[in-house]
Amino acid sequence: MNEKYAKGTINPVFIKLKSTEKVSRPGEKQKTIIDLSAPWNQSLITITTLAVLICFQIAISLNPHSGESQPPMYGDYEAQRHWMEITFNLPIEHWYVNGTHNDLLYWGLDYPPLTAYHHNLLGVIAYKVNKSWVELRDSRGFESVAHKIFMRISAIVPFYIFYLPPLILALMRFKKTSPVLYPLSLLYPALLVIDNGHFQYNSVSLGLFLSAYIFIIRNWTLLGSMLFVAALNYKQMELYHALPVFVFILSRSINKSQPLGTILKIAKIGIVVILTFFIIWLPFILTGTAKDVLIRVFPFNRGLYEDKVASFWCAFSFILKRIPMVQNVQIYLSTALVLICSAPSLISLFIQPSERNFRLSLTTTALSFFLFSFHVHEKTIILATTPALLLLPEYPSLVLLFLNISNISIFSLCIKDNFPFALVFFFAYFVVSYSTHSRKPILHILSTSLGFLICILEMYGPANQRFPHIYQLANAFFSCLNFLYLLVSFTIAAFEKVKKE
Amino acid sequence: MGEIPCILSIGAILIAFKCLLIPSYTSTDFEVHRNWMAVTWNRPLKAWYTESTSEWTLDYPPFFAYFEWALAYVAHTIGFDECLQISKTPIMSSRILVFQRLSVIATDIFYIAICALYAFKSPRLVAGIPKKMRKNAQEACFILLACLQALLICDSIHFQYNSMLTAFFILSMYFIDSGRFLLAALTFSILLNFKHIYVYYALGYVFFYLVNYFEFSAAKFLNNFPKAITLAISLLLPFAFSIFPFFHVAGVEGLQNIATRLFPVSRGLTHAFWAPNFWALYNFADLILYRILSILKIGKFEAPTYTSGLVQEYSHSVLPNVNPIGTLCLVVIASVIVLTGLVIRWRKGKDPIFNFERIFRKTYSRPVDFSLFAIFSALSFFYFGYHVHEKAIILITVPMTILAIKDPKYHRHLIHLSCIASFSLFPLLFTPFEILLKYAICVAYFFIQLTFLKRYTRMPLGDLLPWRHIASWVVLAIVEIYNTFLHKWLLSDRLPFAPLMVISVLTSIELTGFFGSLIWTTFADGIIEISWQKATCRLREQLIRDMTYSVQTVEDEQDVQIVAGVDTSASSSNPDMVYVSVSFWKYPDLQHLATISDTRILRLPYIPQYLAVREAEVVADFVRSVIAERPELRPDVILCDGFGQFHSRSCGMACHVGALTGIPSIGIAKNLALHDVYETVGIDKRAKVDQFVDSCREIFKSNKSVPGFIPFDIVEPVKLNILRMGGSMSGVFVSAGYGIDLDLATTISAKTLLNNTTCEPIRAADLESRRLVRENFDGNRDKIE
């Protein structure tokens, strides 16, 4: 009990503060206000997308691969397995050469050396796991669940090693993006269906190309060109991208004030490119089979196109067939058309070597190669869509149309592989892409829906005796028209930018 | 994203994924369902439950049989007659596979539609959620329900029709939420006639209807009779449709046939793989005892047979045997106890007399949701039931998902439960591709849950993933990986059951923990829990008063470089959800450095006089995490809105924050609630306090513009200074928190006062947290009212 209040009187004391001076107020409040609560967490979205992606990859892997139980030739799956067998068992000089053990008519190697090395490595692993998978001759047409898992995993792993990191790095360069960008670009069905369903190793070459792209735009030109040469030596189809890469590097290297420096720089790049080529081809040069490799890799003796592909030549074959003149000069005509169609975007890239122009030019050039060049597969469309994926934040409508049409264009392949349920996946991608997209371009949606209609006809349409491939041809024609429209739109887009700046 | 795009995209992705899964492995259930189709198609009604050509006899209630008949009709119409042959050996072809898989996918579309209906149209789903979060909450609810990993594994790979049945349950919940109790009862009764396992929910329904449907006030008591009759009719109607046809064609014998098929007796206490429940632990204890006793050679016991991996009756070696009636008693006792607790809580939430304190304090309380009744009922059955399948865990995860959306407090429970569910479902699939698939699906679902719960609440991820849970998942994952990849390789065929047993024992331990923590969280404002919280709080306060917490004390004003003000603002529609802000200022020239905020959920109840229980730890945690991230902002003093040592137990909120962060703290209050003061100084000095306050006013009036303070010296030592800078009649009330003395606290406070009554750092934190609450939780207040 306090003494002071013993008598019951209350007497509070007022104590004056010593320092009465007002503290100086800062005139300008610099505000650092951080709100840590955020609805989206970019890394969480990426991880979730990856988890969903791997679900889809495994689910697609369950489905039949190309040529499953279809002797005597089987399909691409058997081709890859056969290459493992050849490269594992034979010495390097016999890889590309017809011989007693290497029947080139039975899936002879027709990709450049890096593919062969890759299959050699896989062959070693396969041998370690199970000898019978790569037994010379006796393993032809080998199929088992364990082998399927091995092959499927061998196609999924390079996706994460080669393809995914540069793609994510490229997408990370866009600052403000919608949360569906990652799902839409990572879950692009055509690549998944071709690599994990049909069975190929496209993710390797595309991944090498994307890493080359990343390094080149960051001005690590030497490393970039080395990687691009590697991509080229994995699949010769990477030539589709060669022109823009060349033009971009050239245009960026030119420094008008220092002509000597420019020449030196270009020379340096040239030497690196030649050296890389040389190292990759060295074993074949030493064994003297380099020429055989070249013949295998560029098969000019094959036709203008294979199967029903959405290229200009195939889609308009019903007209072109009737013009005899075209038949004779088609090889010159196709080269000329490719060059004419890719020229505008290349010129625009040369004048203005910006990242956006680079991506646009890569897309248009690859697309014109796909449409007009010689001997095209339907699978090659992913060479054009891969750079287009990087345009997704800038030209969402065009790119979404492109991606969806490319899915439709490879559906004929899925039917051949006995994998019709791929269509549901393509359709889901279509639904997701347009329901999350803020603008809804009616014409694009209608056109894509028409494409799905054709796909359904392909599956269930009444058979036509006179034209057994009428629906495939319809699909090719439809896709080709869309691709032509996209080619024009992307070319215009490249020039719009130039005008603005 | 709007509703329709969200439903369309998720639905399309799910359907596409399920279509891609068509070639995957199917369990014997595939042949079971095919055989049922064949039986219902080829046999007359009275033979459905006696037909036994195949060993997979029809053992689901009649509605499911009708459903199989409908499927058979479709198969026949579109030319899949090969599905419809009764055969002793399984029939399988790619066409049959596609037909049956597509039938599941078709029912999945129904399930997705019902999920969408519930998520976007249920009136009570988002009633207690801040306005601006509702859209995200609805989308999260839809996505989490539609993508449920357990359903994907059980239906689209293993092969069953669980989604369709779950859809009926969700539909019933939808009717309950919209107050249409009779329809809800009807739907539930239909569901029971599809698959009798849903009787797991029955007790939950009984208790919920008792308190929600019937009326207990004397005036309206008579209303209950017509209500009871209509309820009984809606419950019995589906039974009439399901059972009567059989009674009609085969008499009582028909019913007996159904009953013997539905409730087979010769099954053991646990399934081939032990579901993660009490009996897994019981078996395990028995096994351990048996091993120990046989090593010590005490007594003679028969070797246990429950590790054989077969479905059979067995007896325990050492522990007493358990019969079905015993387990049923346990189930009923456990669920009656918990459900009665819920009912009592429900009365408390409703009755203003019970709830006086809550209304007075404006703390939120809602009547107990039906999902809790369903969870506790199903959980008791799952935990103590006889011959429980691991798949039955779906019955808990579905209402748990809904509960977690309704009340964000339960988010971490939901995530933990779905992890337990994943681990306990893994043994279902064991073929190579499906092993990869099951892991991928469960991991994907885990991250989907995290993504959408985070998007909904904006909480930091750490809040959803307590360390204890992560540790248990890591242990389970290691065992699981060992089980799948290493066990065969290391031990070849020895001890085949051991890893499975370890998984089920570990998951049952986790499920026990889950059961406990669910009860704890739900009844956190029960008497026992409140007493417990009070006791722990008092213990901590004793430690604080004894200065046991380490702190970097400040002795001199020169030491103070940075001060920080902290404050929290709660959402008006759900006071458990708060924004915590901390604002850093340079001292003494009061330059604003930074204001950092984040959301948090307060899991503990508000207890009068024990405010610290609810908030202190959350605030201190947040300050610690901010400082860990940006050590250059480490304040020398923390200013809290509230009191420090001036407190009935000399340990106010500020003391807790100071002790828990290790930074000296000051409590600065704007108002002095006389009620609190009486309690602090003793009710006998009431008159003196009143007199003191009056004289303070006088003094302030006479020294109008002189800054100064009055020590509140009714009790010695002085713990409170009434500080005033000039002009105003009232001042602010400064009391030292932890690691600082009152004089220094007063000096520092004086310099942080912007004008007379507001302490600038606290004000900044307050404004910022309110702004964020307005922006992210409740929206513009004016627009709501």
CA-nearest residue to A42 within chain B is B451
| Best mutation target, B436, B589, B704, to test chain A (most A CBs within 10 A) | B436
Mean pLDDT of A384-408: 94
- Partners of A47 on chain B (C-beta within 8 Å) are 447
What does residue B125 show for φ and ψ, rounded to 5 degrees? -60, -45
**Which two structure tokens, joined as six digits, stand for A49?**
């997308």
Segment A348-376, tens digit of pLDDT = 999 989 999 999 999 999 999 999 987 78
Predicted pLDDT at A217? 93
Same structural domain for residues B50 and B179?
yes
Predicted pLDDT at B754? 66
Segment A226-250, tens digit of pLDDT = 999 999 999 999 999 999 999 999 9
**How many angstroms separate the CA of residue A436 from the nearest CA in chain B?**
6
On whether any CB of chain B is under 8 Å from the CB of A452, the answer is no
- Partners of B591 on chain A (C-beta within 8 Å) are 26, 30
Total domains present in chain B = 2
Q: Do B713 and A2 count as a contact with CB atoms less than 8 A apart?
A: yes
pLDDT band at A51 (very low <50, low <70, confident <90, very high): very high
- Are the CB atoms for B579 and B555 separated by under 8 Å? no
The answer to whether position B214 is within a domain reads: yes
**pLDDT at B359 exceeding the cut of 80:** no
Segment B490-545, tens digit of pLDDT = 877 777 788 888 899 999 999 999 999 999 888 877 677 788 888 888 888 888 88
- Partners of A421 on chain B (C-beta within 8 Å) are 19-20, 22
Give the Cα separation of B167 and B145 in Å (integer): 10
Residue B663 CB contacts under 8 Å (≥ 6 apart), including other chains: B551, B552, B623, B634, B635, B636, B637, B638, B739
What does residue A210 show for φ and ψ, rounded to 5 degrees? -65, -40
Domain range list for chain A: 43-69+143-253+299-500
Residue A27 CB contacts under 8 Å (≥ 6 apart), including other chains: none
SS3 call for B147: coil
Q: Do B458 and A38 count as a contact with CB atoms less than 8 A apart?
A: yes
The answer to whether position B300 is within a domain reads: no
**How many angstroms separate the CA of residue B439 from the nearest CA in chain A?**
9
- The residue out of B522, B545, B576 marking a domain boundary is B522
Q: H-type helices in A219-258, by residue range?
A: 221-234, 239-253
Give residues 134 to 193 of A whose Cβ lies within 8 Å of B: 145-146, 149
pLDDT band at A306 (very low <50, low <70, confident <90, very high): low
Predicted pLDDT at B335? 92
Q: Give the number of other CB atoms < 10 A from CB of residue B756.
A: 17
Burial of A317 (0-12, 13-18, 19+ CB in 10 A): middle
Mean pLDDT of B619-645: 90
- Partners of B621 on chain A (C-beta within 8 Å) are none
End-to-end Cα spacing for chain A: 85
The answer to whether position B81 is within a domain reads: yes
**Which two structure tokens, joined as six digits, stand for A216?**
């080149």
Segment B584-600, tens digit of pLDDT = 988 878 888 889 999 88
CB nearest to B707's CB, from A20, A39, A428? A20
The answer to whether position B506 is within a domain reads: yes
**pLDDT at B364 exceeding the cut of 50:** no
**pLDDT at B384 exceeding the cut of 70:** yes
Same structural domain for residues B461 and B563?
no
CA-nearest residue to A18 within chain B is B708
Q: Give the number of other CB atoms < 10 A from CB of residue B328.
A: 14
- Which ipTM did the prediction report? 0.92
- Are the CB atoms for A192 and A60 separated by under 8 Å? yes
Give the Cα separation of B250 and B253 in Å (integer): 6
- Partners of A13 on chain B (C-beta within 8 Å) are 710-711, 713
CA dihedral A102, A105, A111, A112 (to 10 degrees): 50
**How many angstroms separate the CA of residue A215 from the nearest CA in chain B?**
31
Give the Cα separation of B105 and B107 in Å (integer): 5
- Are the CB atoms for B635 and B562 separated by under 8 Å? yes
- Are the CB atoms for B659 and B738 separated by under 8 Å? yes
- Check residue B682 and report its DSSP letter: -
Segment B86-96, tens digit of pLDDT = 888 888 898 99
- Are the CB atoms for A487 and A367 separated by under 8 Å? yes
**Helical (H) or strand (E) element with B356:** helix B356-361
pLDDT band at A323 (very low <50, low <70, confident <90, very high): confident
What CATH number is associated with residue B580? 3.30.2170.10
Same structural domain for residues B475 and B612?
no
**pLDDT at B360 exceeding the cut of 60:** no
CB nearest to A33's CB, from B15, B591, B768? B768
Same structural domain for residues B554 and B509?
no
- Partners of B440 on chain A (C-beta within 8 Å) are 51, 54-55, 58
Give the Cα separation of B271 and B524 in Å (integer): 35
Mean pLDDT of B725-748: 82
Mean pLDDT, chain B, as a whole number? 86
Q: Do B459 and A146 count as a contact with CB atoms less than 8 A apart?
A: no
Same structural domain for residues B583 and B508?
no
Q: Do B448 and A33 count as a contact with CB atoms less than 8 A apart?
A: no
Same structural domain for residues B565 and B447?
no
Mean pLDDT of A389-405: 93
* Residue B314 or B44, more confident: B44
**Helical (H) or strand (E) element with A317:** helix A317-320
Asked whether the CA dihedral A257, A261, A267, A268 is positive or negative, the reply is negative
Please name the amino acid found at residue B321. Answer: N
**pLDDT at A498 exceeding the cut of 80:** no
pLDDT band at A2 (very low <50, low <70, confident <90, very high): very low
Residue showing tokens 């000089």: A93
Same structural domain for residues B497 and B624?
no
- Partners of A26 on chain B (C-beta within 8 Å) are 589-592
Give residues 27 to 46 of A whose Cβ lies within 8 Å of B: 29-41, 44-45
Same structural domain for residues B745 and B607?
yes
Residue A350 CB contacts under 8 Å (≥ 6 apart), including other chains: A247, A250, A251
**Model-level pTM?**
0.91
- Partners of B136 on chain A (C-beta within 8 Å) are 39
Q: Do B699 and A2 count as a contact with CB atoms less than 8 A apart?
A: no
**What angle do helix axes A202-217 and A221-234 make, rounded to 10 degrees?**
160
* Residue A101 or B781, more confident: A101
The answer to whether position B28 is within a domain reads: yes
Q: Do B579 and A37 count as a contact with CB atoms less than 8 A apart?
A: yes
**How many angstroms separate the CA of residue B18 from the nearest CA in chain A?**
9
Mean pLDDT of A423-450: 92
The answer to whether position B609 is within a domain reads: yes
Q: Do A149 and B451 count as a contact with CB atoms less than 8 A apart?
A: no
Predicted pLDDT at B531? 84
Give the Cα separation of A489 and A444 in Å (integer): 13
Predicted pLDDT at A300? 64
Distances (CA, A) of B627 to A32, B253, B589, B663: 15, 75, 21, 11
Predicted pLDDT at B776? 85
Predicted pLDDT at B309? 66
**Helical (H) or strand (E) element with B352:** none
**How many angstroms separate the CA of residue B397 from the nearest CA in chain A?**
21
**Which two structure tokens, joined as six digits, stand for A360?**
């646009």
Same structural domain for residues B612 and B637?
yes
Predicted pLDDT at A479? 94
Same structural domain for residues B388 and B433?
yes
Give the Cα separation of B170 and A372 in Å (integer): 56
- Partners of B147 on chain A (C-beta within 8 Å) are none
**pLDDT at B358 exceeding the cut of 50:** no
Q: Give the number of other CB atoms < 10 A from CB of residue A371.
A: 26
Segment A6-42, tens digit of pLDDT = 444 566 777 777 654 555 555 455 567 787 777 777 8
The rounded percent of chain B whose pLDDT value lies above 70 is 94
- The residue out of B478, B497, B522 marking a domain boundary is B522
The answer to whether position B418 is within a domain reads: yes
Give residues 409 to 438 of A whose Cβ lies within 8 Å of B: 421, 424-425, 427-429, 431-432, 435-436
The answer to whether position B256 is within a domain reads: yes
Predicted pLDDT at A327? 63
Q: Do B9 and A432 count as a contact with CB atoms less than 8 A apart?
A: yes
Same structural domain for residues B584 and B549?
yes
Domain that holds residue B155: 3-269+322-522
Same structural domain for residues B548 and B492?
no
Residue A11 CB contacts under 8 Å (≥ 6 apart), including other chains: A4, B695
Predicted pLDDT at A310? 79
Predicted pLDDT at B1? 65
Predicted pLDDT at A9? 57
Segment A59-84, tens digit of pLDDT = 999 999 998 888 888 888 999 999 99
pLDDT band at B357 (very low <50, low <70, confident <90, very high): very low
Predicted pLDDT at A58? 95
**pLDDT at A458 exceeding the cut of 70:** yes
Mean pLDDT, chain A, as a whole number? 87
**How many angstroms separate the CA of residue A144 from the nearest CA in chain B?**
12
**pLDDT at B238 exceeding the cut of 50:** yes
**Which two structure tokens, joined as six digits, stand for B548?**
């046991």
- Partners of A14 on chain B (C-beta within 8 Å) are 699, 703, 708-710
**Diameter of chain A measured on Cα atoms:** 126
Total count of residues recorded for chain B: 785
Predicted pLDDT at B683? 75
